[in-house]
Structure 1
Amino acid sequence: MLAFYAMQRATGGMAFKRFLQIVGPIRETPMPSGAGRAIEVLGSPAYWVEHAGGNSVRFVRPGSDTILLSHEADIREIDQ
């Protein structure tokens, strides 16, 4: 829905049916193992998304839906 709302703002209004024609099939992606566990990135709270390959980790901040990338040395596991 966030993408639809953004497209409406960018186009001055667009019908949902037209939006679906543009984006094509929508598929659910399974959650990676460990996704959602609490971590700290440079001392600030975050949630693990997945290992991004090499020395990189994908994560999100609380209250955000933007996936960020950080070096694994910046990540601290939080014991729960």
Structure 2
Amino acid sequence: MNLISGQFPKEDALDILTRMVHAKISYHEQKIHGSLNEEDIKMRENRIKQLQKDLYDCRREMDQKEGMIRLSAQLELA
């Protein structure tokens, strides 16, 4: 499934990316609130931290680019 494919103004690309990451973070937060398993909670907390770091890194990289930003996101069911 092709989720995103195209070139976007920097502000739009950042908005799309931020919303996608926040959706994943929200998913993990919901799972944490419903879990009693410490290992699962720790794993999800670490995943949230990694997503936040990745978003920060992408923002910094985007800030250095001029013009349009190309985004591509594929979903593969395996």
Normalising by the residue count of structure 2, what TM-score does the alignment of the two structures yield?
Answer: 0.27
Which structure has the larger Rg over C-alpha atoms? 1
Higher helix share: 2
Higher strand share: 1
The structure showing larger relative contact order (alpha-carbon pairs under 8 Å, at least 6 residues apart) is 2
